[in-house]
């Protein structure tokens, strides 16, 4: 059976999005992995299925390119908010988020960050503001859960880090029982330069939840003030957050084409 999908991206972090609100769509990890494959499938970093929700305007389910279903995806949240139009409440496994469609962009309230070692989660108690752990030249990171798990390293030059090698080693370290998204950040005037090795997807052009986690970690360490621009390889996201508040993320969301695929 052929199913229509929307190909979209948020600053180059790209998605195949199925709208299953009218016609149910059974998705599983193997199918998601096959569709995400850039050689034999459609190709994307994450696969998204929009479903009806009992508690919000719609439900967004997220599969990484490796086929793992996960709790949050910031860039896809902006794309879904753009598709939904106006203001929308979006149910995700990481919590209900609120989107506002703008012109070629969206702003999403991503909820409040969590810092408890068991909320990241970590395998054992550590100070998540500055963990006493290291991998070669990367050490002393923060850990933040913004619906999904992130570890954030602040370095002098994020561009000089061999993230393709260190990312997977950290992603799969036993310290992170659910694995983790790996962020390396550098101060850039009042902004922050960020590169991300994504859990289940690898190096991406941008990571919305990574930008949120990094902004929160930087503000907590007084390395930046809200609102802070996060400069990713694919473009810039503006993150606003103060302790005790929810995180607001604003940035581009782009529709590329509508396609069909046999499922």
Ligand X SMILES: N[C@H](CCC[C@H](N)C(=O)O)C(=O)O
Q: From the annotation, which residues make up the binding site? A: 13, 46, 64, 74-75, 148, 181, 198-199, 208-209
Residue at token pair 């059974």 = 26
Residue closer to ligand X by CB (options 74, 167) is: 74
Residue closer to ligand X by CB (options 163, 201) is: 201
- Of 208, 191, 214, 187, whose CA–CA distance to 251 is shortest? 208
Instruction: Report the alpha-carbon distance of residue 220 to residue 105 in Å, rounded.
Output: 27
Asked if residue 81 binds ligand X (CB under 6 A), the reply is no
Asked if residue 234 binds ligand X (CB under 6 A), the reply is no
Asked if residue 46 binds ligand X (CB under 6 A), the reply is yes
Annotated binding site for substrate: 13, 46, 64, 74-75, 148, 181, 198-199, 208-209
Tell me how many residues contact ligand X (CB under 6 A): 18
Query: Can you point out the beta strands (E) in 11-136?
Result: 13-19, 46-51, 58-64, 69-70, 87-92, 95-101, 105-109, 134-135
Instruction: Report the alpha-carbon distance of residue 15 to residue 3 in Å, rounded.
Output: 15
Q: Are 15 and 7 in contact (CB under 8 A)?
A: yes
Of 66-74, 98-106, 184-192, 243-251, the window that binds ligand X (rule: CB under 6 A) is 66-74
Among 19, 100, 107, 198, binds ligand X (CB under 6 A): 198
Asked if residue 92 binds ligand X (CB under 6 A), the reply is no
Among 8, 48, 60, 70, binds ligand X (CB under 6 A): 70
Among 50, 101, 106, 207, binds ligand X (CB under 6 A): 207
Cis check: omega of the bond before 157, within 30 degrees of 0: no
Distances in whole angstroms, Cα of residue 59 to Cα of each of 82, 91, 96: 14, 4, 9
Interacting residues with ligand X (CB under 6 A): 13, 45-46, 64, 70, 73-75, 148, 181, 198-201, 204, 207-209
């Amino acid at each position: 059976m052929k199913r229509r999908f929307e190909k979209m991206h948020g600053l180059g972090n790209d998605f195949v999005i199925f709208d299953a609100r009218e016609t149910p769509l059974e998705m599983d990890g193997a199918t998601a992995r096959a569709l995400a494959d850039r050689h034999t499938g459609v190709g994307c970093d994450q696969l998204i299925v929009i479903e009806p929700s009992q508690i919000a305007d719609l439900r967004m389910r997220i599969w990484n390119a490796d086929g793992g279903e996960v709790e949050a995806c910031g860039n896809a949240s902006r794309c879904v908010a753009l598709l939904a139009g106006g203001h929308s409440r979006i149910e995700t496994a990481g919590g209900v988020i609120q989107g506002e469609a703008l012109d070629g962009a969206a702003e999403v309230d991503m909820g409040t960050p969590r810092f408890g070692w068991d909320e990241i989660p970590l395998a054992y108690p550590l100070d998540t503001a500055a963990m006493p752990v290291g991998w070669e030249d990367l050490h002393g990171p923060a850990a933040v859960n913004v619906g999904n798990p992130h570890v954030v390293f602040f370095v002098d030059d994020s561009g000089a880090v061999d993230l393709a090698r260190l990312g997977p080693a950290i992603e799969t370290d036993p310290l992170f029982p659910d694995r983790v998204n790996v962020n390396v950040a550098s101060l850039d005037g009042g902004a922050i330069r960020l590169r991300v090795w994504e859990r289940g997807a690898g190096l991406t052009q941008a990571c919305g939840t990574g930008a949120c986690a990094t902004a929160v970690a930087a503000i907590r360490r007084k390395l930046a003030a809200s609102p802070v621009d996060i400069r990713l390889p694919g473009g810039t996201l503006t993150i606003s957050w103060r302790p005790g508040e929810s995180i607001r993320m604003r940035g581009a969301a782009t529709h590329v084409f509508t396609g069909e695929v046999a499922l």
